[in-house]
Structure 1
Amino acid sequence: MKLGIGSDHNAFDMKESLREYMIELGYEVQDYGCQDSCSEVDYPQVAFDVADDIMGGKIDRGILVCGTGIGVAIAAGKVPGIRAALCHDTYSAERAQKSNNAQILTMGAKVIGIELAKQIVKVYLESEFPGGNSARKVQQISDKENEYMKGVRI
């Protein structure tokens, strides 16, 4: 599985730790930045880049972190077809995949610590979307998104 990871300057340290952890787990990881905690980086472009590459088939899933995880979730979710889930516990991370087929997991570096973040990432990456009743619900979300996209110029 090919993964993307990205952050703003507020979450640089967490991003680096998670990137190393995912590599240790055996995943191929592409780093979308930022590259240090000193330069202020706006998170939307990082989130857009990860989401675009998921939709383009360059990566399979993404992990995005910022101060709260909220901003990157909102930004990534603006890319048509993307489902980004903000999770600060392992149960939500599992359900993000099993119930919602979320391609992106987001977390807040100022909300949780790195060890919990690692547990969340591991559970999320080990979870698979089974389809079934959940597929019907995910399709309803996609249908509504497509309805809004009709006639919209991008």
Structure 2
Amino acid sequence: MNYPDGSLIRTGDLIWWDYGAGTGYVGEIMEDQKAYDAWGLEEPSLELNNVHPFDGSSGGMVYPLWVLEIEGLRKFSDPERQELELALGEASQRAGRSFEGLKYVVRAGIENCKQVTWIFILLGDDWQAIERIVVPRPPESLPHPVPV
């Protein structure tokens, strides 16, 4: 199974999706009939998970393959991954605590079809949002245009 750009999709890949506004991970890949039948599906599909850090245990949303291009699914580039790691450190400082052992969601703050911030949403034990931390992107960051 491949991304729209032709590169191979792998479980655990850090991805952009939700039209370039959401980040997450590839969970289970259901490419052959036996795999998608086991999920009660009728066609090849992917499980996508927006909870960080990825451990594969919190479940996710399942999308058929034909939806992936519409969703803007693509793998994080190395510079984007590095920028996210720096933003995570900044968010941790702003929160006054380490995110280790916490579950959180990461979204892109979008203005004029460009990502201008990273938004970290900390989740409680009941999976409800307990805190929202916004970290501006550095001006020298690579552009992250959002599909319209």
Rg larger for: 2
> Which structure carries more strand by proportion?
2
For normalisation by structure 1, the TM-score amounts to: 0.27
TM-score (norm 2): 0.28
